[in-house]
Structure 1
Amino acid sequence: SHEATLERDYLDQLQRPLQPLKDHLENVTYETFEKDPVKYARYQQALSLAYQDRANTPFCVVLVVGAGRGPLVTCALAAYEELDVSRRPQALRVFAVEKNPSAMVYLQAKAAHDQTWKQYGVSLVHIDLRQLAVELIGGTPGDIVVSELLGSFGCNELSPECLDALFTTTAVHDRTVSIPTRYISHLAPVSSAKLHSQARVQALYPNEDESGVLGLQTAMETPYVVRTHAASQTHREQDCWEFVHPSVSSGDKNRTAMVEFTPDA
């Protein structure tokens, strides 16, 4: 299947989680993300529903934050075009917000040559989304914020910190909605001799101050991204915590959870 082909090179391969807020992602990383056969279809469905909630309003401002190479921009335009004019806003304004210089070069080429992007006049904003201001998006706050900042554990790539910061700026208003609106992190025990062995091997490549026991401890307590294959999930996953955007809390993003998995008799 298409899915099996995509994941073949990643089966049981331990990878360190990305840090896209700290590091600029490479083009090949974006390309891998964009091959997801499900995610962007779901985003397009969500955007379609958001447009229908704003049917017949004069215009809708969409902020695609952390735009990367622009797949969510394409989703935003496609969702708008597929709706009958009576079921959508009368006009659409889309802003692609991205801090990565190399991704911005790609976005500039896309905006210059993609006919649909040109038709809707997609605007590019080269800035960290946490520093966005209404003056940078034409003076009108966004109605919809759409992002794909989630990590493999949900919040582990700083999506809450980024989106909460954005929702304190002048780039949004009291009724701005976020896609996604909420996300929950889950935990479940997994048994795998192969992955356990691979994690121990990581201790052979310690940092300068991490050798011997310390290197092993670090390797065994480091979170990894992996598409498990030679592994078995022994219990049903349990919820840990959730984040909601716009945030309904006081802004504290610390979360703790205690989950218990009962051994089989």
Structure 2
Amino acid sequence: MMATCGTCWKEFRSDQARQQHMDAFYHHAPEHECDTCFRFFHSFSAVVNHMNAKNHWQYKCNDCDDSFLSKEWLRDHEVEDHFYCDPCKRYFSCYNNIKMHLNSRIHRGQNMQCPFCKQRYTTATGAAHHIESGSCPSAPGLDRDLVYRIIRAKDPNHIISNKLLEWSDSTRYEATSQAWNGFAYECSLCHRQFQKLESLSQHLSSPVHQQNLYHCPKRIACGREFTSLAGLMNHLESESCGYTKFENVQKSAAGIMSSDRLIGF
């Protein structure tokens, strides 16, 4: 098909010849021209209908016959339909695997910062765990219990914090050699067995046997509860309940950790 100049309507056998003509005379292509076949129309809706019907969009998928209006739409298609990461030139076995890859340090770097020691993490989950576990060297004494008090003060409407009528600091458990049952060190609460006493101590020091302090904001449809803020963040980042997107969790968590504003997602 001939390529047409949209100013003088002269026709050319190739796009290169037309481009040379337009550059020389400061002419332009027809306003509503197809990206692929040079047909032009009287309205934007007409050319869109044509390109949809003929699959003539500029950005074409290498794995199927689909084409798209923009690189962003093409990239989303490659990820969702073909589990393909274009920057890394890698295919993945399922959508969940490529989603984890795209949310990893390789693509996201370490943009989540601890508000106290400024150590950086890839996700809100990592930063929340760092703070709740008492690992921050610049905030001695800051732990899961204090974090809950801070979050509850910022969350008067209980969007993510549980409304607990009775709550006290977390119960502290201690592992001793008496936990040995003849085969392994056994947790007296859940009866999980560990080969090392240190492993049992780590288990008892974790929030696994503590009271649920948080809940998914999608209260009715999801209703999952969590013992730690990190657990809630990990749930939201997974997008498993469809409440919000990974990017929104990072933005909301940054606001929670670095300001006095109320909770919002």
Same fold (TM over 0.5): no
Give the greater-gyration-radius structure (CA).
2
| Greater per-residue strand proportion | 1
TM-score by length of 1: 0.22
TM-score by length of 2: 0.22
